[in-house]
C-alpha cells in the first residue's frame, strides 16, 4: 500500500470517527446537544495520538503531495530547487546554450554550485 493510500485510509477512518463523535452532539436544538465535558470524553478525543505524531503525519502528507524533500537543511532544499528550475529551463529551450543562459538568467547571475 502506498503512503498516499495509507494517508487516505487514515483520513477516512478519522472522518468516520469524527462523524460518530459529532452524532447527536450537533443537533440544531441546543437542549438536545451534549455538553463540552461529554464531547471531551468521547473516544475520538481521548484516543488521539500525541501532537508530535499528528504534526509529523501532516508534514509527511504535505511533502508527499508537493513532492518536497524531507528536512535536509538549506543545501537539500537549494539542490531540489535547482533541479526544478533546471527542468523548467530544459522544457522551454532547445539547445544547451539556451538552457545555460536561461538558468543563469533565472538565478540572477548566481553560480549553480
Q: What is the pLDDT of residue 4?
A: 46
Q: What number of other Cβ atoms are within 10 A of residue 31's Cβ?
A: 5
Alpha helix stretches (DSSP H) within 1-113? 3-22, 36-40, 43-46, 51-66, 73-91, 96-107
Q: Average per-residue pLDDT in the chain?
A: 68
Say if pTM beats, i.e. exceeds, 0.85.
no
The answer to whether residue 37 scores a pLDDT higher than 80 is yes
The answer to whether residue 50 scores a pLDDT higher than 80 is yes
Residue 80 CA to residue 66 CA, distance in Å, equals 12
| pLDDT tens-digit series, residues 78-109 | 777 777 777 766 666 666 777 677 767 666 65
Amino acid at each position: 500500500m502506498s503512503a498516499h493510500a495509507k494517508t487516505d485510509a487514515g483520513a477516512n477512518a478519522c472522518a468516520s470517527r469524527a462523524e460518530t463523535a459529532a452524532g447527536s452532539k450537533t443537533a440544531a436544538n441546543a437542549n438536545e446537544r451534549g455538553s463540552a465535558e461529554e464531547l471531551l470524553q468521547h473516544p475520538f478525543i481521548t484516543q488521539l495520538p500525541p501532537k508530535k505524531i499528528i504534526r509529523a503525519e501532516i508534514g509527511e502528507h504535505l511533502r508527499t503531495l508537493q513532492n518536497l524533500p524531507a528536512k535536509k537543511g538549506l543545501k537539500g532544499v537549494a539542490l531540489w530547487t535547482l533541479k526544478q528550475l533546471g527542468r523548467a529551463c530544459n522544457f522551454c529551450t532547445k539547445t544547451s546554450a539556451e538552457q545555460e543562459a536561461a538558468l543563469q538568467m533565472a538565478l540572477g547571475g548566481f553560480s549553480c554550485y
